[in-house]
Amino acid sequence: MYDEQVSESQNREADVAALLAELKQQASLPLESAMTLAPGTYRSAGFLALEIEHIFRREWICVGRIDEIPNPGDWFSFDLVGEPLLIVRNEQGEVRAMSNVCAHRWARLKTGRGHAEQLRCPFHAWTYDLSGCLRGAPFMTKAKDFNPHDIRLPEFRLEIWLGFIFVNLDPDATPLAPRLTGLEEQLKAYPVVEQKTLSHVSETWDANWKLALENAMESYHVFGVHPKTLDPFLPTKTVTILPGEAGYNIHTMKSTLAPKAKSTFLRATIYPTLVIDVGHIDRMRLSWQTFMPLGVQSSCIRTGAAAMPGAAGLLKDPGEGNDMANAEDRPVVESAQRGLQASRARRGRISHLEAPIWEFTRYLSARLCSDRSV
Ligand code: FES
Ligand SMILES: [Fe+2]
């Protein structure tokens, strides 16, 4: 039994090493010769473990928008690959990311989103202030050398970029903003910071997180998957790929709904998990999606919609367009996940319109292969 387990884990390591070698080789190809990732990268538990270690626990992960917690005391919880986080706006108005685990006996402090003057643990009512300092611990008077003031919830790195909240579990991570300066330049024509969140929904898709993310980052599929809903207004034939950088990729389309001077619609993917859409269609809306693994073949997809203040009242159902697009994307993505389990599934060639996927491949290789001898 033990031998079997050892040999299974050796096999798994060999599989992951082969996938990494393939990834590195793919990332070295020019766009004209580019291919998809190997099917195994979407179905390997070992590969996901590596992604969690080198991407999700070390990279800047978008957890939401600051306007979702506008007032001191507003909070929401977020699970980042098993790390329970509590995002709170404290008494000073600062947004902080804290551990959502009680310092007593590890109960989860909060679930969902809400507003509180203090953070009270549901287990034995230890109470923390909005900066995570312990303020009350009932029936602890006989505990020797126990001083609540010595105890506070651990904090994680947090950065706010154009109104998006990013958290990094790695205390030594390099800052996020410098790698996005080129994208910020491209976004100058669009109000992003000012947009107010109108809706967000979470769904679980039966697909590897990369498969769902890749679908969202390219618009090659728009004419195929959304022929009646999106393509008439944002046609695939108008896709223009702009040069990306190490931290993001970007492309534009032309909206048939907006006046010509304002018809440029922009889609950017901020690695590893955030895709944003901005444009002048539909009253200057902003949409975004995030992609988190729940397992090898299961992902949490969060979709948010925002609009400029004042435009909000004009929108009947702010999330309707996103819901419609998701309802069309999801079956195709889940079917591709089933397809790549086929014994004869191989890497496919990709179009120049899928340049974002090619750029993402290079990002993955840089994160996963650079410090290994593959
Ligand atoms: S676990 Fe939180 S008060 Fe006991
Ligand atoms: Fe789509």
Burial grade of 38 (CB within 10 A; 0-12, 13-18, 19 or more): buried
User: DSSP per residue over 109-124, as a string?
Assistant: ---SEEE-SSEE-TTT
Indicate the average pLDDT of the chain: 92
**pLDDT bracket for residue 374 (50, 70, 90):** very low
Q: Which ligand is nearest to the CA of 104?
A: 1
Residues comprising the chain, all counted: 374
d(CA 305, CA 186): 20
Mutation pick for ligand 1 pocket among 86, 101, 104 (CB with most ligand atoms within 8 Å): 104
Of all residues in the chain, the percent with pLDDT exceeding 70 is 92
Query: Which atom of ligand 1 is closest in space to residue 105's alpha carbon?
Result: 1
Q: Kindly report, residue by residue over 82-95, the tens digit of the pLDDT.
A: 999 999 999 999 99
Which token pair is 163?
């109104």
d(CA 101, CA 77): 11
Q: Which ligand is nearest to the CA of 223?
A: 2
Q: Residue 52: helix, strand or coil by DSSP?
A: helix
Ligand 1 centre distance from Cα of residue 146 (Å): 15
| Distant-in-sequence contacts of 282-288, Cβ < 8 A, 24+ apart | 282/257, 282/315, 282/321, 283/307, 283/308, 283/311, 283/314, 283/315, 284/190, 284/191, 284/195, 284/308, 284/311, 285/195, 285/311, 285/318, 285/321, 286/190, 286/192, 286/195, 287/321, 287/322, 288/62, 288/164
**Are the C-beta atoms of residues 104 and 123 closer than 8 Å to each other?**
yes
User: What is the residue type of 158?
Assistant: L
d(CA 135, CA 119): 10
pLDDT of residue 64: 97
Q: Which residue has the CA at smallest separation from atom 4 of ligand 1?
A: 124
Mutation pick for ligand 1 pocket among 86, 99, 101, 102 (CB with most ligand atoms within 8 Å): 102
Q: Which ligand is nearest to the CA of 328?
A: 2
Q: Check whether 123 has a pLDDT greater than 90.
A: yes
Q: Check whether 73 has a pLDDT greater than 80.
A: yes
User: What is the residue type of 8?
Assistant: E
- List, chain by chain if needed, residues with CB within 6 Å of any ligand 1 atom: 102, 104-105, 107, 121, 123-124, 126
Ligand 2 centre distance from Cα of residue 319 (Å): 15
**What do you get for the CA distance between the two ends of the chain, in Å?**
31
Cis peptide before 191 (omega within 30 of 0): no
d(CA 260, CA 263): 5
Ligand 1 centre distance from Cα of residue 124 (Å): 5
Q: Kindly report, residue by residue over 126-161, the tens digit of the pLDDT.
A: 999 999 999 999 999 999 999 999 999 999 999 999
Ligand 2 centre distance from Cα of residue 285 (Å): 17
The whole-number average pLDDT for the span 304-318 is 69
Ligand 1 centre distance from Cα of residue 364 (Å): 40
**pLDDT bracket for residue 317 (50, 70, 90):** low
| Four-point Cα dihedral 218, 219, 223, 229, nearest 10 | 110
The whole-number average pLDDT for the span 168-173 is 98
Ligand 2 centre distance from Cα of residue 365 (Å): 25
**Are the C-beta atoms of residues 305 and 286 closer than 8 Å to each other?**
yes
pLDDT of residue 4: 54
d(CA 157, CA 164): 14
Q: Check whether 291 has a pLDDT greater than 90.
A: yes
Ligand 1 centre distance from Cα of residue 292 (Å): 29
Residues in contact with 306: Cβ distance below 8 Å, sequence separation at least 6, in sequence order: 65, 67, 195, 196, 197, 198, 285, 286, 287, 288, 318
Place of tokens 């798994």: 12
Triad 67, 271, 32: Cα angle to 5°: 140
d(CA 341, CA 278): 35
pLDDT of residue 14: 77
C-alpha pair distances (Å), 86 with each of 81, 228, 334: 14, 41, 31
**Are the C-beta atoms of residues 247 and 166 closer than 8 Å to each other?**
no
* Interior/surface letters 113-132, b for 16+ CB within 10 angstroms, e for the rest: eeeeeebbbeeeebbbbbbb
Q: Check whether 296 has a pLDDT greater than 80.
A: yes
Q: Which ligand is nearest to the CA of 107?
A: 1
In terms of Cα–Cα distance, which of 10, 37, 5 is closest to 21?
37
Q: Residue 160: helix, strand or coil by DSSP?
A: strand
Q: Kindly report, residue by residue over 171-205, the tens digit of the pLDDT.
A: 999 999 999 999 999 999 888 998 889 888 999 99
Q: Check whether 213 has a pLDDT greater than 80.
A: yes
Query: Which atom of ligand 1 is closest in space to residue 122's alpha carbon?
Result: 2
Q: Check whether 162 has a pLDDT greater than 80.
A: yes
Q: Check whether 281 has a pLDDT greater than 70.
A: no
